């Protein structure tokens, strides 16, 4: 791939997905895009780029963006965010929403579905405390391929061994050949939709909790700021935002502020913010 072709790809990826590909990542582009080129019968990446230049808005450009998007995911990834969910976020929201008994959760960039399904399993573990509640989990991703896998809820042995406690595997999965499929009752708790975070997402409505983990690290500063500010407009003053361990709002926006002693957890930075102090939050553990 020539430097000119690589520069074109970098610009295309940045415009379409916000992905910032550094100059030394040409090897990554080549390894991920060669299968796309072969699929379409192109001689090499030069022909692939030529086709993209001829029709930048073609379905081929969508394939290229999806191939370059990182879709790493596993159940209960990093553990800490799910501890925050069980011990801090959920009790606070249940207290605040006791009258309407409704919760809306958004997993942005959900990849193959392990994150929203982990939240769904955690909610199931609450048991009678959520009886009569309407809980909606919306999971979105830019890649239609990973969304198809997420909707099916089928994972191989390696995937279910990554972060999933054996009790959860036995309780919520059934074996399908050499793979495992998550229970219909868990799949029914999550609705999957294709969405590019660079586009307007106001039509999704408001969410009490947003998981937007390991997304901002791939974006340039201007795009990060735009995404965070638009997320803030989709949340009530007592909502919660969960970011990845390597991500922060500090230095990017005043729309959110970190929650004390809760790494990766943020609340809207408004005078009306009603997020309860951790010491005053009712705590309960999710049953295995």
For the segment 220-245, what is each residue's pLDDT rounded down to a tens digit?
899 999 999 999 999 999 999 999 98
Q: Indicate the pLDDT class of residue 162, thresholds 50, 70 and 90.
A: confident
Q: Indicate the pLDDT class of residue 272, thresholds 50, 70 and 90.
A: very low
pTM of the model: 0.81
Strands 154-155 vs 179-182: parallel, antiparallel or unpaired: antiparallel
More confident call, 64 vs 228: 228
Burial of 216 (0-12, 13-18, 19+ CB in 10 A): buried
Is there a contact between 251 and 228 (Cβ–Cβ < 8 Å)? no
Whether the pLDDT of residue 270 is over 80: the answer is: no
- What is the per-residue DSSP string for 192-225? EEE--TTS--GGG---SEEE--SSGGGB-HHHHH
Hey, what domains does the chain have and what are their CATH numbers? 3-68 (1.10.155.10), 80-280 (3.40.50.150)
Q: Indicate the pLDDT class of residue 56, thresholds 50, 70 and 90.
A: low
Q: Name residues whose C-beta falls within 8 Å of residue 12's C-beta, 6 or more positions apart in sequence.
A: 52, 56, 61, 64, 65
Is there a contact between 54 and 63 (Cβ–Cβ < 8 Å)? no
CA distance 103 to 120: 12
Q: Indicate the pLDDT class of residue 30, thresholds 50, 70 and 90.
A: confident
């Amino acid at each position: 791939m020539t430097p000119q072709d690589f520069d074109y790809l970098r610009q295309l990826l940045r415009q379409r997905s916000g992905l910032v590909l550094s100059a030394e990542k040409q090897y990554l582009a080549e390894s991920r895009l060669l299968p796309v080129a072969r699929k379409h019968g192109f001689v090499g990446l030069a022909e692939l780029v030529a086709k993209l230049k001829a029709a930048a808005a073609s379905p081929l450009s969508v394939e290229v963006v999806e191939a370059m998007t990182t879709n790493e995911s596993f159940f209960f990834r990093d553990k800490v965010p799910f501890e925050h969910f069980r011990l801090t976020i959920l009790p606070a929201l249940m207290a605040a929403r006791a009258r309407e008994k409704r919760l809306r959760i958004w997993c942005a960039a959900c990849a193959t579905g392990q994150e929203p399904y982990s939240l769904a399993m955690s909610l199931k573990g609450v048991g009678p405390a959520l009886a009569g509640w309407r809980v909606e989990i919306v999971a979105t991703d830019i890649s239609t391929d990973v969304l198809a896998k997420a909707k099916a809820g089928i994972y191989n042995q390696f995937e279910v061994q990554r972060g999933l406690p054996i009790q959860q595997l036995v309780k919520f999965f059934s074996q399908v050949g050499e793979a495992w499929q998550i229970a219909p009752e868990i799949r029914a708790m999550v609705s999957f939709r294709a969405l590019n975070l660079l586009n307007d997402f106001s039509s999704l409505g408001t969410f009490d909790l947003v998981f937007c983990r390991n997304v901002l690290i791939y974006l340039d500063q201007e795009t990060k700021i735009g995404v965070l500010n638009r997320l803030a407009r989709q949340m009530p003053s007592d909502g919660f935002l969960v970011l990845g361990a390597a991500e922060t709002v500090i230095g990017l926006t005043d729309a959110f502020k970190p929650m004390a002693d809760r790494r990766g957890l943020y609340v809207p930075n408004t005078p009306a913010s009603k997020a309860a102090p951790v010491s005053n939050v009712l705590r309960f553990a999710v049953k295995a």
